[in-house]
């Protein structure tokens, strides 16, 4: 069963508002993350996720919104996290470029 839901900006904004235990994971590189990010996001670049997954191990049962710049790296990250046993994954389709909510700079 596929645990990954691909969602658009409006759905992501609603998810952020409604799910108080939501974990927001930014899988872009650190320099991209520093330029602007979703509020309260955790940054683990997709290239490092395999080695850094222990940092988010405690969140396996929580909903996780994964995003990158346009949605490609976050899709790769979601597939990896699903294989690692994460239960409720949301991929932000179109990434931060399509996100119309507030961005932290």
How many angstroms separate the most distant Cα atoms in the chain?
37
Q: Which residues are catalytic?
A: 68
**Residue 15 has which token pair?**
């998810």
**Contact (CB, 8 A) for 15 and 63:** yes
- pLDDT for 23-66, tens place per residue? 999 999 999 999 999 999 999 999 999 999 999 999 999 999 99
**Spatial separation of the C-alpha atoms in residues 69 and 4, rounded to whole Å:** 18
pTM of the predicted protein model: 0.96
Q: What is the CATH number of domain 4-104?
A: 3.40.250.10
Q: Where are the domains of the chain?
A: 4-104
């Amino acid at each position: 069963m596929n645990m990954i839901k691909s969602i658009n900006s409006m759905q992501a904004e609603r998810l952020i508002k409604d799910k108080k235990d939501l974990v927001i994971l930014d899988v872009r590189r650190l320099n991209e993350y520093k330029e602007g990010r979703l509020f309260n996001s955790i940054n683990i670049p997709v290239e490092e996720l395999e080695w850094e997954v222990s940092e988010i191990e405690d969140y396996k049962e929580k909903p996780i919104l994964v995003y990158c710049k346009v949605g490609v790296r976050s899709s790769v990250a979601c597939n990896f996290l699903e294989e690692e046993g994460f239960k409720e994954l949301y991929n932000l389709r179109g990434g931060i470029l399509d996100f119309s909510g507030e961005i932290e700079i």
